[in-house]
């Protein structure tokens, strides 16, 4: 059954302050909607409960990409198309640009936003592993104040996050300090385009003399939230890239992830593929080659 539009109220404020004021005056009553690529699917299927919708699409304060000294600040309302076409972002943060190209088709990329991908809180989201390895920070705004937090602390469980009812994500902040790292990204799905991930990976690393100097690995679709493999990273740092490390990496990954069986894949498949992807990353790292 399709939803009845008469059961919904839609308000489109002209600026961010007006939107935040609505949230503050009636906390929890409003559902912010930007590009609508997830919300409208629920609406069309009749699965969106009747409520007030707050359109933040097009708010100028959320649609800027600012290149600042030591930081790039991406407005939460920036679309995937804007991310993959921005020269500074594609040069400094190729993993994020790659994920933007993976997400849906061109129509979705023209409407879907980075902030929306974060608050939708899907563990299969394409862009979120890259934010983890780049150690992104979020600026959260309300009429009370703005606060900043590491993205890795934002998601607390499946569809749960540290976002107050009167807050919006204003921007995602990235520091351009990984240009000398080898970057690696893969998405495994049922087909090459417009598929939800069975598993996806974003990874960064540096190696010298055959030894792993630095490594950052994040996976999607292997836990209730996008997962940074902190323990696996610890087990790899300082080690020589050789067959023994490959075995260690597989064991460490299997111990750290918590995949499930669902309509797209099985836990066993995800566990095996996760290990394979990390091993392939180590091989690329040893060869000093990017794979994005």
Give pLDDT tens digits for 86-114: 999 999 999 999 999 988 888 899 999 99
Q: Please check the confidence at residue 14 and state whether its pLDDT lies above 90.
A: yes
Give pLDDT tens digits for 56-74: 998 999 999 999 999 999 9
User: What pLDDT, on the 0 to 100 scale, is given for residue 183?
Assistant: 97
> Beta 146-150 vs 137-141: how paired, if at all?
antiparallel
Q: Please check the confidence at residue 1 and state whether its pLDDT lies above 60.
A: no
User: Is CATH 3.30.390.50 what the domain over 184-287 is classified as, yes or no?
Assistant: yes
CATH of domain 60-174: 3.30.465.10
């Amino acid at each position: 059954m399709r939803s009845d539009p008469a059961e919904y109220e839609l308000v489109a404020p002209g600026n961010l302050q007006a939107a935040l004021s609505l949230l503050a005056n009636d906390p929890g009553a409003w559902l912010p909607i930007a590009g609508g690529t997830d919300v409208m699917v629920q609406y069309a299927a009749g699965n969106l409960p009747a409520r007030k919708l707050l359109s933040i699409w097009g708010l100028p304060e959320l649609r800027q990409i600012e290149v600042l000294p030591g930081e790039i600040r991406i407005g939460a309302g920036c679309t995937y198309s804007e991310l993959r076409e921005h020269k500074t972002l594609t040069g400094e943060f190729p993993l994020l640009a790659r994920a933007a190209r993976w997400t849906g088709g061109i129509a979705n990329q023209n409407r879907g936003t980075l902030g929306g991908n974060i608050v939708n809180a899907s563990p299969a989201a394409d862009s979120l592993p890259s934010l983890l390895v780049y150690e992104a920070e979020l600026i959260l705004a309300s009429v009370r104040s703005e606060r900043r937090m590491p993205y890795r602390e934002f998601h607390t469980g499946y569809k749960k996050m540290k976002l107050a009812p009167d807050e919006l994500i204003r921007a995602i902040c990235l520091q351009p300090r990984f240009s000398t790292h080898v970057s690696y990204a893969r998405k495994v799905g049922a087909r090459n385009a417009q598929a939800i991930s069975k598993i996806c990976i974003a990874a960064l690393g540096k190696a010298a003399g055959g030894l792993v100097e630095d490594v950052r690995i994040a996976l999607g679709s292997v836990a209730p939230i996008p997962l940074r493999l902190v323990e696996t990273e610890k087990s790899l740092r300082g080690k020589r890239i050789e067959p023994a490390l490959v075995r260690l990496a597989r064991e460490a990954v299997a111990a750290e992830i918590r995949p499930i069986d669902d309509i797209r894949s099985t836990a066993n498949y995800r566990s095996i593929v996760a290990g394979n992807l990390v091993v392939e990353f180590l091989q690329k790292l040893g060869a000093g080659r990017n794979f994005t």
